[in-house]
Amino acid sequence: MRKILGMILLLVALCIAIYLVNPRFITPVNLQNLTRQIALLSIFAIGEGIVILSGGIDLSVGSIIAFTGLLVAYLVTTLGVPPALATTFVLALCVIIGFAHGMLVTKLKLQPFIVTLCTMLIFRGLARRLTEDDTRGFGNQFESFRMLGEGALWGIPVPVIILITVAVIAHFFMRYTVYGRYLYAIGRNPNAARYAGVKVDRMQTASYLACALLSGVAGILYATYTNSVQPATTGQAYELYAIAAAVLGGCSMRGGEGTILGIIVGASIMRVMYNGIILVGISTFWEFAVIGTVILIGVVADATVKQRASRLKAKG
């Protein structure tokens, strides 16, 4: 909890610093856009964080976002499928994708890095082939459907409401159910969890399933928010954003540590930093350098804390 409090203080200090440099930071338009961006990132970062908690990793998040966003736009505008039916179909497909990831990792014992790297390339290729690399959107039609991404209720962006729903469910599952504790146990030591009677393969498969499903939700929200899905660039490197948000929020890359609240705080810091880069006038070319630095600092800090804890434990 102290780690999360520290990150919250860092987030507050970051907001104050940006405001002092550029007061436009607190304009209603900027804050609404910023919270929308935070919500979109947090939704798929929670999925990535659950996989990391269980000791795995999913590199296909960005490509799934692009593929699902493009597919739902293609189904609705080209094939004339009703938006509700298209959304149901896309989310069902994400469940199958996550299940396939889990089966390949747990049954064939393939490295998660390799499996999801391959599907990252596969779904990016499928997205480009589906529309011949043509950008798709909804135009001026389907206004009620586009409310999912660009709408607001009582002044609160719809993606923020969806994030709150996802976060409450995920927090309850991880914090108050035995299956959530199983995921932490698997992340710390999968062999010990297996000997304790935990269905390790089933739980790890469920984590990949949750990640793919939340990536699909984010893909649909991005499609309805931007109203323009570009097969080659939409969702590009979003897996890095998700990993950075999870690590920054306290998730250990070794598994077994992290919270849903921490992941949301990490995602908030990521988006506030990007917003600050734009408002302060720093080149956006620094964005990836900042993400890489954040991940590196998180991994180094995690390793340092682990080594120190081991030394203290050895001394008794």
Nearest partner of 82 among 158, 149, 142, judged by Cα: 142
278 burial class (0-12, 13-18, 19+ CB within 10 angstroms)? Answer: middle
pLDDT band at 252 (very low <50, low <70, confident <90, very high): confident
Q: What is the pLDDT of residue 273?
A: 85
Q: Residue 66: pLDDT band by 50, 70, 90 thresholds?
A: very high
Question: What is residue 302's predicted lDDT score, i.e. its pLDDT?
Answer: 65
Helices 61-77 & 112-130 angle (0-180, nearest 10): 30
Q: Are 57 and 255 in contact (CB under 8 A)?
A: no
Compute the C-alpha angle 143/153/82, nearest 5°: 30
Helix (H) or strand (E) holding 38: helix 28-53
The percentage of the chain sitting over the pLDDT mark of 70, rounded to a whole number, equals: 96
Q: Is the pLDDT of residue 306 over 70?
A: no
pLDDT for residue 96 is more than 90: yes
4 close to 259: Cβ distance less than 8 angstroms? yes
Q: Where are the alpha helices (DSSP H) in 153-199?
A: 158-176, 178-188, 190-195
Distance in angstroms (rounded) separating the CA atoms of residues 69 and 72? 6
Per residue in 147-196, pLDDT (tens digit) is 999 888 888 899 999 999 999 999 999 999 999 999 999 988 989 988 98
Residue 153, φ and ψ in degrees, nearest 5: -120, 125
DSSP conformational letter for 184: H
pTM for the whole structure: 0.90
pLDDT of residue 37: 93
Flag whether pLDDT at 290 surpasses 80: no
Start-to-end CA distance of the chain, whole Å, equals 24
Q: pLDDT tens across 212-232, in order?
A: 999 999 999 999 999 888 888
Confidence of residue 301 (pLDDT cuts 50, 70, 90): confident
Q: Say which residue the tokens 């180094």 belong to.
A: 300
pLDDT, mean of residues 36-54: 94
Please tell me the distance from the alpha carbon of residue 70 to that of residue 38, in angstroms, as a whole number: 21
Q: Would you place residue 298 in the very low, low, confident or very high pLDDT band (cuts 50, 70, 90)?
A: low
